[in-house]
Amino acid sequence: MTGGERLSLSVTPETCAGTGVCTFYAAGTFELDDDGRVSIVDEHGDPDDDIRNAVEACPTRSLRLGPSGGGRP
């Protein structure tokens, strides 16, 4: 994202395999619950590049990233 544009995150816990890759890249943003399912603890808890890396590394594509506020991708 450029120009200070914020990112919008969404997760699908039902497809999460619990690998913890997301928490490796962005521990301030994601956590795994007791069942090993991903959740967002702070949408802006890490730098955007770290969040983007976590989303791209998710093996089950349970994380999605887009522009906040309906901006263009």
65, 7 contact by CB (below 8 A): yes
The whole domain housing 14 covers: 10-66
* Inside any domain, residue 54: yes
pLDDT of residue 5: 64
> In angstroms, what CA-CA distances link 68 with 22, 24, 37?
20, 24, 24
- Residue 1, domain member (yes or no): no
- What are the pLDDT tens digits along the chain (73 aa)? 444 566 789 999 999 999 999 999 999 999 999 999 999 999 999 999 999 999 999 999 999 998 776 544 3
The confidence score (pLDDT) of residue 69 equals 61
Residue 66: predicted pLDDT:
84
Question: Which string of DSSP letters, residue by residue, matches 35-56?
Answer: TS-EEES-TTSS-HHHHHHHHH
What's the domain count of the chain? 1
Q: Domain for residue 50, yes or no?
A: yes
CB 20 within 8 A of CB 12: no
Q: Is 38 within a domain? A: yes
Residue 73 lies in a domain: no
CATH number, domain at 24?
A: 3.30.70.20
Return the pLDDT at 73.
Answer: 39
